[in-house]
Homo-oligomer: A and B are copies of this chain.
């Protein structure tokens, strides 16, 4: 008999279309989190690294890294959405809508926007739109993800299938840059890259060159920092009996590593405007070394902004192999087995340079 006080999580039949889940554990994001994030990923984007640089760009201080906000907002959804998940299937329409500064407190709410029971009758897919807000109630992040969740009672009736209408690509017209941001005089020496919006071409591929090996302590500290409670990341006693016999690394850890590596080639990509979609195509484990490469998929102006433009980027994370040959799908359509991440997102770069 299990305790009646612990959180059993939700099973597929517990989710109802239109249901709103107010998630627990509001979280103040601080300079301490920023330092740990730097220690874990080695980020060098100047806007997030120095108040002085951010102030020169019109901001009040260095904003919190977009992905750190994402991981913390995401972490709150785990106990309610994915504690009984079989698989995290995808993301879409991930939009960063307001900067977060040290001292801001964020919390997360989700709405069930789609349900589809699988034909095996044992699992179903749940689509949720999750919204992170700050202490003023302003939305800082909004995104959709879908997960495959177990049914507790296989005899529970299947809900009506409803699939949400999701954009394949977020329209840059939806981007919300900080009102006080001014990218018209960015110092390319301090930023560490002479390449701005106009310097990138659609179709261009960039090998980010560097590799980063992951330790157990690192990915666990990261994932706990995000208050993400998924057991597979922390509990070796359980995972030793799993198929791989190892603790799985949180997929978001790989996204942050790939983004950190992407500085070498995309050093002025200061903001993530949106994530269009992404998949974790293979698991990663402690001891793996992560490399990354990117392809420019598209370029777009941002309505109302003459100082900044958006690049649609596809970044692939690759384990234990360098990327000078841009490992991807082969002619047979099969993905290179070393590819662990395939992320489609918009980054925002200044158009001008000093």
Supposing A35-B33, A39-B225, A190-B26 touch, asked if A105 and B51 sit within 8 A by C-beta, the answer is yes
Bound form: Cα–Cα A191–B7 in Å:
12
**Which residue of B3, B22, B264 is within 8 Å of A7 (Cβ)?**
B264
Supposing A6-B264, A206-B6 touch, asked if A79 and B36 sit within 8 A by C-beta, the answer is no
Report the minimal beta-carbon distance from A91 to chain B, rounded to whole angstroms.
23
Asked if A162 lies at the interface with its beta carbon under 8 angstroms from chain B, I say: no
User: CB-nearest residue of chain B relative to A228?
Assistant: B42
Supposing A27-B49, A36-B32 touch, asked if A234 and B220 sit within 8 A by C-beta, the answer is no
User: CB-nearest residue of chain B relative to A48?
Assistant: B28
User: CB-nearest residue of chain B relative to A56?
Assistant: B26
Q: Which of A257-311 contact B (CB under 8 A)?
A: 264-267, 287, 289, 291
User: CB-nearest residue of chain B relative to A43?
Assistant: B227
Bound form: Cα–Cα A324–B294 in Å:
47
**Which residue of B206, B222, B227, B235 is within 8 Å of A213 (Cβ)?**
B235
Asked if A254 lies at the interface with its beta carbon under 8 angstroms from chain B, I say: no
**Which residues of B have CB within 8 Å of A225?**
35, 38-39
**Which residue of B5, B105, B220 is within 8 Å of A218 (Cβ)?**
B220
Bound form: Cα–Cα A229–B192 in Å:
13
Bound form: Cα–Cα A218–B209 in Å:
23
Asked if A211 lies at the interface with its beta carbon under 8 angstroms from chain B, I say: yes
Q: Which of A223-250 contact B (CB under 8 A)?
A: 223-225, 227, 229, 231, 234-238, 247
Asked if A336 lies at the interface with its beta carbon under 8 angstroms from chain B, I say: no
Contact call B135/A227, Cβ cutoff below 8 A: no
**Which residue of B44, B189, B204, B236 is within 8 Å of A22 (Cβ)?**
B189
Asked if A164 lies at the interface with its beta carbon under 8 angstroms from chain B, I say: no
Supposing A36-B32, A289-B237 touch, asked if A52 and B135 sit within 8 A by C-beta, the answer is yes
Asked if A13 lies at the interface with its beta carbon under 8 angstroms from chain B, I say: no
**Which residues of B have CB within 8 Å of A209?**
2-3, 6
**Which residue of B216, B229, B287 is within 8 Å of A236 (Cβ)?**
B287
Contact call A190/B30, Cβ cutoff below 8 A: no
**Which residues of B have CB within 8 Å of A212?**
234-235
Asked if A40 lies at the interface with its beta carbon under 8 angstroms from chain B, I say: yes
Asked if A208 lies at the interface with its beta carbon under 8 angstroms from chain B, I say: yes
Asked if A97 lies at the interface with its beta carbon under 8 angstroms from chain B, I say: no
Asked if A195 lies at the interface with its beta carbon under 8 angstroms from chain B, I say: yes
Bound form: Cα–Cα A152–B209 in Å:
18
**Which residue of B103, B192, B218 is within 8 Å of A79 (Cβ)?**
B192
List the 10 closest pairs (A to B, CB-CB), nearest first.
A32-B35, A24-B192, A42-B224, A26-B50, A237-B289, A52-B105, A217-B217, A32-B32, A211-B235, A30-B31
